[in-house]
Amino acid sequence: MNKLKLAFISFSLVLVSGISSAVSISGNAQLQSDYIWRGMTQNTGDASINGGLDVEFDNGLYVGTWIASVASGSEVDYYGGYTGSLGDIDYDIGYVKFDYPATEGGGDDFEELYIGVDLPMGIGFSYASGEDGGAAGDTTGFGVSDNLEVSYGFDLGEGSIGIAYGDYDGFGEYTNLTYDFSMGDFSITLGYSDYSDDASTDLTTESDNAFFINVGLL
């Protein structure tokens, strides 16, 4: 068991003893012109509809689920974790399972342990450790790969700009540039994703650079 996973389990055992009864439930829904994840389209460049439900406890613990239309039919994510802060630094540590029900035998399913840190001045870091997934004997799937991402964002008064650079081990590197703003009851994201494929991957993915627009309910 790797050190990051062991630390997460130990941390969780301590937190469980302080679970509070106060709960906040929220939902989300979004239409995407192209579902881009780590620089790669998940729906062969077509539009995708997604939505989710989150349950948050007032001590920082949370659980949730999220579903999206993808090329193979649907993606269903299940996750749980803990958020907190140390002074001006916010952190989020959790575990997520990516499930693809339409894939025979569950060969595309995988899991990740993740940790994210938000620093002052709009700087963020996140690391996802691939823990399990892929067909038996497959060493090239998402589940055995790690992803490191650094981001920076700033407000413009009317909306905000965000830029993120990530390195997905064995797959490639990506840069996302986004502009987020609201219009009435909708949140809108205009973005561009630039992806550089890693020749070491044996997987076939649709990964062309792309512009995209996401529209969600506030």
User: Which of 11-15's residues contact partners 24+ apart within 8 Å by CB, and which partners?
Assistant: 11/82, 11/93, 12/82, 15/59, 15/60, 15/61, 15/82
* The pLDDT of residue 124: 98
Chain segment 204-218, per-residue pLDDT in tens? 454 568 899 999 998
Residue 55: domain span: 3-217
| Cα distance between residue 73 and residue 146, in whole Å | 25
Tokens 């996401």 locate to 214
CB atoms within 10 A of CB 41: 23
| Of 204, 157, 153, nearest in space to 176 by CA | 153
Question: pTM of the predicted model, to two decimals?
Answer: 0.83
Here the tokens at position 129 are 């450790």
| Cα distance between residue 137 and residue 216, in whole Å | 39
Residue ranges of the chain with per-residue pLDDT less than 50: 14, 17, 20, 135-140, 202-204, 206
Distances (CA, A) of 181 to 120, 148, 160, 186: 21, 26, 7, 9
Count of domains forming the chain: 1
Name the strand (E) or helix (H) holding 14. Answer: helix 3-16
* The pLDDT of residue 137: 40
Here the tokens at position 77 are 């994510």
* The pLDDT of residue 132: 73
| Of 51, 62, 59, nearest in space to 25 by CA | 62
Q: What is the domain-level CATH number for residue 143?
A: 2.40.160.40
* The pLDDT of residue 139: 44
Chain segment 42-67, per-residue pLDDT in tens? 999 899 999 999 999 999 999 999 99
Return the SS3 of 113.
strand
Are the C-beta atoms of residues 29 and 43 closer than 8 Å to each other?
Answer: no
